[in-house]
Amino acid sequence: MKYDFLSIEKKWQDKWDAAHVFEAQDGSEKPKFFALVEFPYPSGAGMHVGHIKAYSGLEVVSRKRRMQGYNVLFPIGFDAFGLPTENSAIKYNTHPRILTDRNIEKFSQQLKRVGFSFDWTRVIDTTDEDYYRWTQHIFVEMFNKGLAFRDTALVNYCPHCKVVLSNEDSQGGKCDICHNDIVQKSKDVWYLRITKYADRLLQGLDSVDYLPQVKQQQVNWIGKSTGAFVNFSVKGADEGEMLRIYTTRPDTLFGVTFMVIAPEHPLIEKYRDRITNIDALDEYKTECAKKTEFQRTQLVKEKTGVKIEGICGINPVNGKEIPIYTADYVMMGYGTGAIMAVPAHDERDYDFAKKFGIDIIEVIKGGNIEEAAYTGDGDMVNSDFLDGFTNKKDSIKRMIEVLEEKGIGEEGVQYKMKDWAFNRQRYWGEPIPIVHCPTCGMVALPESELPLRLPAVENFEPGEGGESPLAKIESFVNCKCPKCGGDAKRETDTMPQWAGSSWYFLRYIDPKNDKAIADPEKLNYWMPVDWYNGGMEHVTRHMIYSRFWHKFLYDMGEVNTEEPYAKRTAQGLILGPDGEKMSKSKGNVVDPNEVVDQYGADVLRTYILFMGDYGAAAPWSDSSVKGCKRFIERVCDLKTIIQGKGETEKLTSAFHKTIKKVSNDIEDMKFNTAIAAMMGLLNEIFEVGQLTVDEFKIFIRLLCPIAPHICEELWEEIGGNGLCSLAEWPSYDEAKTVDSTVEVAVQVNGKLKGTVMLALNADKDTALSVAKADAKVASAIEGKTVVKEIVIPNKIINIVVK
RNA sequence: GCGGAUGUGGCGGAAUUGGCAGACGCGCUGGAUUCAGGUUCCAGUGAAAGCAAUUUCAUAUGGGUUCAAGUCCCUUCAUCCGCACCA
C-alpha cells in the first residue's frame, strides 16, 4: 500500500501539538524521566542527518517511557552564541540577532517535521537576555568566590579569528574554529579556576553511569598524577634559593645527573647577571618562542637545549653538583617548569643525555642502559638507603618520607588540566558583567543590574589589536562603579561559546523563572538528568565544563545534586555514502529535508535507527532507506489480513518474544535489532497469513516510538482509544516467550550432524536417545566408541567418539 | 610513542555472552504481474567441489585453552578515535 506520508505526518504533528501530549508536568505523581540531548548550534546551513541521529535515540526511549507511564521531560533549545554567526553577520552585514532568529526558526521547522516529541513549551535560547542573565549570574558568583580571575599569561591566540582560545580549543596548535595555526601571545585574560575542582571531577566519575570510553577520556583529560615536589638548592645563586621540581619518581633521585628548566623559567631572568652564557640562553629562548606548538611537538622529537653556565644544582640527597640545562622539552605550564633528569630511566632524559654527553647512572635494575632508558620495574641499586627495595610503590613511599623528614620535598599531585581561559574578544557572546574601577579595582555587577545587555553596534569586526568590538562603544564602556559610584569602565570581553551550554539543562526545568535559575522544588523533582546522549566530541570540553559549573552551583546551594548527569551515552557519526565523514567540501552531505520529502519522517527515523549499532559510525545508503520504506508499507498492509478467528499459537509466542526484545533493546539503545525483530515478526505474520485486531494493536504500539505518525494513523483506522502515543506499552508474559519444544543441534566430535526437536528442558537421557536416533548422527557414531556425551539443555548435544 | 576501540558474505550489520556463524535489511540471480520502466509478489543467495544427498573450507593473522571459540588467552597486522616531550 502506498501512503500519503506528507499529509499524514502533518496531521498527527498538529494533533500532538493541540493535545499537548509531549509537555512535561511539574509536580506529577508519576515517576520522572529527564532525557537530555545536546542542543544544537543553529547554523545557517540548517540541520544535518547527524542531528537527527543524535536526537533519535532518546526520542525513542522517551516515547516508550511515556507509554510506560513516566512523566517525561525531553526538552530542546539552541546554543546560539558563537563565532560562525558572528562571521556571517560580518559577511552579510546583518545583525547576529536577526541571523540567529532566522536559523532557530529554520531548525525548529526541521525538528518538527521529523516529529520529535520535544516539549516545545520549554525551548531555550542561550542568546535570550532572560537566559544569559543567569549565565552572568553564575559568573558573578564565581567571581565573588575567587573562581573567576584575571591574569596575564601566554595565551593561545588565533590571528585569523582574532580571539584568545582555551587550551581545549587549540589542540595540536590549531584553532578549533578555523583550523589555522595559533600563536602564543601575552595577554590579560579571564580564567575560571576549574583546577580547584579537578579532584572532585575525577572522583565524581565513580558515582555516575557513563560509557567507559567517556569516563576514560575525562580521566585522561584531568590527567592526575601523583609524585613529589623536591627542592634543589642552587650553587651560585642567593643563599636559600631553591629550584623546585616535580617528579613522579622521587625514588630515582640518586640517578639524577642533570636538571632541565623551561626556556621561560624565571630563574634565568633572576640570575642573568651571574649566568655567564646569558646571550646563548636568550637566543635559545627566542628561537623556542618562534616555534609553533606544532613544531615543538613534532613527531621527531630531536632534543635541543643549552647548558646554563655559572649556576648549578645540588642533589639534596647526596650533595652532588649537577648541571642545569634549559630545553624546550620541559614546559612552563606543567609542574614547576623544572625537572630533575634521570636519563637511565626516562626516555626523554636519555635522549638528551646522549646528545649532550651527560652521565647516565642506573638506579633500577632490569634494562640495559647502554642501549636505552629502562622504564620498567626492578630492584633499586646505587641508591644508598633505597638499595634493595624491590617495588616502586615502597621505594617512592620511603623516599617521600625521607624528603619530608629533611624538609627538602613533599608528596604532591599534578593535573594536566589547566584553568579555563574564559574570554573572547568578540561581540556575539555573553558580556562579562564586571566593571573596572580605578579606586575599587574589579567589581562585579550586582544582581539588580543583570542582565548586562549586549549593546547595539554598527560593526562586528574585532579591533586590530584583538580587542572586542564592544570596546568601541563608549556608551557601553563608560559607566559608574557599582561600589563607589565613581567613573569606571566596563569589561568589554565576552564569554566563550561554552558558557551558555554549561548549565542549560537546569533551565529546561523552569525556563521562565525570573527569580532564580530554577525553582528549588522543581529542581528537586527533575534533577539529575536521567540520561544524557550526545557526541563523543563533547565529552571532554562541554561535559567537564558543565560538571564543574554544576558542582560549583551545588556548593552554592543552588542545585540539589552534585553530579548533573546520571548516565551518558554517545551516538556514532553518520558517514557520507562514500564512507567519508560528511562535509560540504566533499559534497557528501545528506539533507534530512530531502529524505523527508521523498520518503517521509517515519522512514527517515526508522532508517537512521536501523543503520547499525547506534554508538558506531555507519555510512548512509540510499538503497537501504528504501528497505525501511518497504517495511513501513508492509506494516500498513497488515490491516488487510486482520481476522476475527482468534490467535494462532505460533504468533502468540512470537509476539511475546518480540515485545520482550523490543522493550529491552530500546533501553539498551539497540534500535537496529529492535527493528529487525519487528521485521522478523512481520514476516512471520505474513507467513501465517492472519492476525487479530489485538495483535495488530500490539504491533503498532511497539513501532510507535520509532515511526509514530503512521502508527497513529493506523491506530485511528483500527479504532484504538485516544492517541497511540499515549497508549499503554505492551507487556509480555515471560512464560509465553519460551516454546514448549526446542530445536537442539546435535554434534559429533564438535561437528554439526543435524538437529532434533525436543521438549523444553528434556532430560539428558531422552535428549541423547532422540539424538542418536537421528539417521545422520547414528551413521556418524556407528562402529565407534563413545568417549563423552555433553548435553546442554535446550542448546546443544555433543557426542565425542573415537 | 601512550590510551581506547574495531576487524564477520558483494554491502550495512546480527549472534541470548563459550553452544546450529551470517538474524534483519540492502544488493544480486531466476520466475510471476506489467506494453514498458518502476512497484509488488514468489524462490534462491558465504566460498569451493558434486547430477545429487552430501562433503570440505570460512568470523584480519598465526598459535593456544576447550567436548565446543566470532566470543577466552598469547602473537602479528590493519583501520578509526582520543592524548601527545605531562617529568
Which nucleotide is nearest, taking the CA of residue A342 and each C1'? B87
Cβ atoms of A80 and A499 closer than 8 Å? no
> What is the per-residue pLDDT for A293?
54
- Using C1' positions and the CA of A800, the closest nucleotide is B67
Residue A3 (CA) to nucleotide B41 (C1'), in angstroms, measures 19
Q: Report the greatest alpha carbon distance in chain A.
A: 108
| Neighbouring C-beta atoms of residue A715, cutoff 10 Å | 23
Number of H helices, E strands in chain A: 25, 28
Beta strand A183-192 with A420-421: parallel, antiparallel or unpaired? antiparallel
Report yes or no: A306 and A281 within 8 Å, Cβ to Cβ: yes
Contact A714, A14 (CB under 8 A): no
DSSP state of A364: B
Residues β-bridged to residue A192: A148, A420
CA distance A76 to A65: 18
Burial class (CB in 10 A: 0-12, 13-18, 19+), A338: buried
Q: What's the rounded Cα separation, in Å, for the pair A141 and A746?
A: 71
Find the residue closest to B68 using CA and C1' atoms.
A750
Q: Which nucleotide is nearest to A631 (CA to C1')?
A: B25
Give CA–CA dist A28/A132, Å, rounded: 29
The DSSP line for A650-711 is HHHHHHHHHHHHHHHHHHTT-HHHHHHHHHHHHHHHHHHT-B-HHHHHHHHHHHTTTSHHHH
Instruction: Give the residue whose CA sits closest to B80 at C1'.
Output: A617
Q: Report how far apart, in Å, the C-alpha atoms of A585 and of each of A201, A516, A589, A769 are.
A: 38, 45, 9, 67
**Residue A339, nucleotide of least CA–C1' distance:** B87
**Coil/strand/helix, residue A758:** strand
Query: How many residues are there in chain A?
Result: 802
Q: Is the dihedral of CA A480, A486, A490, A491 positive or negative?
A: negative
Residue A30 CA: distances (Å) to CA of A196, A508, A564, A634: 39, 19, 21, 36
Nucleotide nearest the Cα atom of A799 (by C1'): B67
Q: Are A512 and A497 in contact (CB under 8 A)?
A: no
Half-sphere exposure of A440 (CA within 13 A, CB side): 18
* Angle between the N-to-C axes of helices A649-667 and A693-703, in degrees from 0 to 180, rounded to the nearest 10: 20
Q: Please state, as a whole number, how many other Cβ atoms lie within 10 Å of the Cβ of residue A590.
A: 20
Residue A429 CA to nucleotide B34 C1', Å? 63
- Flag whether the ipTM exceeds 0.85: yes
- The 10 Å Cβ neighbour count of residue A675 is 22
DSSP structural state of residue A371 = T
Q: How far, in Å, is the CA of A442 from the C1' of nucleotide B20? A: 75
DSSP annotation of A534 reads E
What's the CA–C1' distance between A224 and B3, in Å? Answer: 14
Q: Where are the beta strands (DSSP E) in A268-318?
A: 306-314
Beta strands in A574-639 (DSSP E): 574-575, 618-619
Q: How far is the CA of A366 from the C1' of B62 (A)?
A: 30
Q: What is the distance in angstroms measured between the alpha-carbon CA of A408 and the sugar C1' of B8? A: 60
* Protein-contacted bases of chain B (C-beta within 7 A): 3-5, 11-16, 19-21, 23-27, 39-42, 54-56, 67-69, 80-87
d(CA A719, CA A725): 14
> How far, in Å, is the CA of A434 from the C1' of nucleotide B39?
67
- As a rounded value in angstroms, the CA-to-C1' distance for A687 and B43 is 15
A756 CA vs B51 C1’ separation (Å): 29
Which nt sits closest to A2, CA to C1'? Answer: B39
d(CA A181, CA A781): 73
The 10s digit of each residue's pLDDT in A540-598 is: 999 999 999 999 999 999 999 999 999 999 999 999 888 888 888 788 889 999 999 99
User: What span, in angstroms and rounded, lies between the C-alpha atoms of A87 and A428?
Assistant: 10
Give the pLDDT of residue A15: 97
Grid cell, residue A794, equals: 535446550
User: Could you identify the residue whose CA is nearest to the C1' atom of nucleotide B20?
Assistant: A745
pLDDT at A40: 95
A327: nt with nearest C1' to CA: B85
Phi/psi for A597 (5° steps) reads -60, -45
Residues paired with residue A488 on neighbouring β-strands, in sequence order: A479
Alpha helices in A330-408, H assignment, sequence order: 347-356, 392-406
pTM score:
0.92
Q: b or e along A469-504 (b: 16 or more beta carbons within 10 Å of the residue's beta carbon)?
A: bbbbbeebbebebbeeeeebbbbbbbbbbbbbbbbb
Note the CA–C1' distance, A626 to B83, in angstroms. Answer: 41
What contacts A614, CB < 8 A, 6 or more positions away?
A53, A57, A571, A572, A669, A670, A671, A672
Nucleotide nearest to A288 (CA to C1'): B85
For residue A418, which nucleotide's C1' is closest to its Cα? B86
Residue A300: predicted pLDDT? 52
E strand or H helix at A469: none
CA of A50 to C1' of B31 (A): 41
> Across the 802 residues of chain A, what is the mean pLDDT of every consecutive 10-residue run?
83 96 94 96 91 96 97 97 90 93 96 97 97 98 96 78 73 71 78 94 92 90 92 92 94 95 92 92 86 56 88 94 94 91 92 92 88 86 92 91 94 91 91 96 95 89 80 93 95 94 97 96 96 92 95 97 95 88 84 93 96 91 92 92 81 93 95 95 91 94 97 94 96 87 85 83 84 81 82 87 81
Nucleotide nearest to A749 (CA to C1'): B67
Nearest residue: Cα versus C1' of B82:
A217
Q: What are the residues facing A122 on neighbouring strands? A: none
Sheet holding A796-801, edge to edge: A751-759, A741-748, A796-801, A786-792
Give the closest nucleotide to A686 (alpha carbon vs C1').
Answer: B41
In whole angstroms, B22 C1' to A673 CA is 15
Q: What is the pLDDT of residue A296?
A: 58
The CA–C1' separation of A628 and B31, in angstroms, is 25
The CA–C1' separation of A786 and B64, in angstroms, is: 26
Provide the sign of the torsion angle of the four alpha carbons A586, A592, A594, A598, taken in this order: positive
